[in-house]
Amino acid sequence: MQMQRSIRLPSRVRRGPYQLVGAVAICLVAAYILVGAQQFSNFLTVGAIYALIALGYTMVYGIIELINFAHGDVFGMGAFVALWLLTVAGFHGAIDNPLVLAVVLVALFLLTMGIMGLVGMVIERVAYRPLRNAPRLAPLITAIGVSFILENIMQAFFGPSPVTSPQIFDLNARFNVAGASIGYLNVFIVLVAVALMIALQVFVGRTRLGRAMRSTAQDREAAQLMGVNIDQTIAITFFIGSALAGAGGIVWALYFGYALFNQGFYAGLFAFTAAVLGGIGNTTGAALGGFFIGFLYVAAAQYGYFRWFEVLVFGVLVLVLVFRPSGLLGQQLGERA
């Protein structure tokens, strides 16, 4: 119990959970006032997608200190797997029956997340595990190589043009609230993202495997001495991180109705920024960072500075790295100095 306690409190920022919740609530209200109800729903949707991708980045970094640059392409591949599954299953347009829709969505999420989790495990086994004790530059460069390999695989199978996906969720199903017209799909995306984040927190914080992950992150050798199977733990971390990226891909395919072989590159960079912003290694921070990037996106669009969005995002990245390298919330998954 003692160990668990010390880990759940970040070492640098000793802030209680209620303070964090309060800060987030204040930020949300400020965001709402700044961009209005309609853009607020846009912001939550985009933010949820970036947050899902950022979680995988941060988990992998937290446990083996690897910036997994292939992670963005795992997300991109998730979108392709989702659209491929939907196409093979013979869907074309929106499914009207909510019960059928729910069943299809559950199956879609389970299958796609499972497949992408396995892809993540394979990548780890083939490309990263042999380099685990190599200098840190080696796996980083390998990760870039894996990123290109994944993109080329997608291009080989699906071609260089955007591929359209069946959109089983009716985009025109909307409701009006506070003068804004909000799609049920937007609500669904945010709910799915938040549910997955909560599930992840519970898994890491309350389960035996989660404790193995945290101990591996904290001190790999000591964890091994205490009987933790390091290889298995790292493989599971990749499975979960990649499955979450896969979930991001599904949501993407449902919402945008298309996938492009190299779409994961930029989405991955934005999500990486989100992870660094929140404190790389810190899952709560990554989620909040994802929403922050989503807010930047919408605010830039609202105020006519969209041309500068990439400058804004990477400017934030530089500022964080210079002034607060441990991110806004500090590192949390383990407690690395």
Partner 1 sequence: MQSRTITALAAAVVLTAGACSSSATTAPAGGSSAPAASTGAGSSTAVGGKSVTIGVDLPLSGGEFANGDPTKKGIELAVNQANQKGGVAGYKIVLSIKDDAVNGVHNPQQGATNIQGFVADPTVIGVVGPFNSNVGAAEIPVSNRAGLLQCSPANTNPGLTKPQYGALSIRSAYPNRINYIRVATTDDIQGLAGAEFAYNDLGKRRAYVVDDTETYGKGLADVFVTQFKALGGTVIKQDGAPSSTTDYTPLLTAVQGQNPDVVYFGGVTATGGGLLRKQMAQVGMGNIAFGGGDGIVDGPGNVQGSFIKVAGSAAANSFGTVAATHDIPNASAFSDAYKAAYGAAPGAYSASAYACTQVILQSLQAVAGSASGSGLREAVRAYATDSSHSFTTQLGTISFDQNGDTTQHIISFYKTDMSAAGGVGDWVFVRQQDFGGAGSSGASAAPGASSAASPAASQ
State the maximum Cα–Cα separation within the chain, in Å, rounded to a whole number: 59
CA triplet 328, 7, 120: central angle to 5 degrees? 75
Residue 21: other Cβ atoms inside 10 A: 10
CA dihedral of 119, 120, 121, 125, whole degrees rounded to 10: 100
> Cβ closer to partner 1: 150 or 296?
296
Q: What is the rounded CA–CA span in Å between residue 240 and residue 248?
A: 12
Q: Which residue in the set 164, 207, 229, 232 belongs to the binding site for partner 1 (CB under 8 A)?
A: 164
Indicate which single residue of 105, 111, 171, 187 sits in contact with partner 1 (rule: CB under 8 A): 171
Closest separation between CB of residue 235 and partner 1, Å? 31
Contacts of 134 by beta carbon, 8 Å cutoff, 6+ apart: none
Is residue 16 at the binding interface for partner 1, with CB under 8 A as the rule? no
The verdict on 161 binding partner 1 (CB under 8 A) reads: yes
Q: Which stretch binds partner 1 (CB under 8 A): 26-34, 110-118, 299-307, 326-334?
A: 299-307
Among 111, 309, 312, 324, binds partner 1 (CB under 8 A): 309
Answer for which of 32, 148, 184, 256 binds partner 1 (CB under 8 A) is: 256
| 88 near partner 1, judged by CB under 8 A | no
Least distance in angstroms from the C-beta of 173 to partner 1: 11
Q: Is the CB of 148 or the CB of 158 nearer to partner 1? A: 158
Position 43 contacts partner 1 (CB under 8 A) = yes
Closer residue to partner 1, CB minimum distance, 36 or 114: 36
Is 228 or 298 the residue whose CB approaches partner 1 more closely?
298
Cβ of residue 324: shortest distance to partner 1, in angstroms?
26
User: CA-CA distance, 7 to 1, in Å (whole number)?
Assistant: 10
**What is the b/e burial string over 209-226, where b = at least 16 CB atoms within 10 angstroms of the residue's CB?**
ebbbbbbbbbebeebeee
Q: Which of 317, 333, 327 is nearest to 281 (CA)?
A: 333
CA distance 281 to 276: 8
272 lies in the binding site for partner 1 (CB under 8 A): no
Among 28, 203, 257, 328, binds partner 1 (CB under 8 A): 257
Q: Does 32 bind partner 1 (CB under 8 A)?
A: no
Closer of 152 and 164 to partner 1 (Cβ)? 164
Distances (CA, A) of 157 to 9, 77, 106, 119, 266: 46, 11, 26, 16, 21
CB atoms < 10 A from the CB of 45, how many? 22
Residue 302 makes contact with partner 1 by CB under 8 A: yes
List residues near partner 1 by CB under 8 A: 38-39, 42-43, 45-46, 159-164, 171, 181, 183, 252, 255-258, 260, 263, 265-267, 297-298, 301-304, 306-307, 309-310
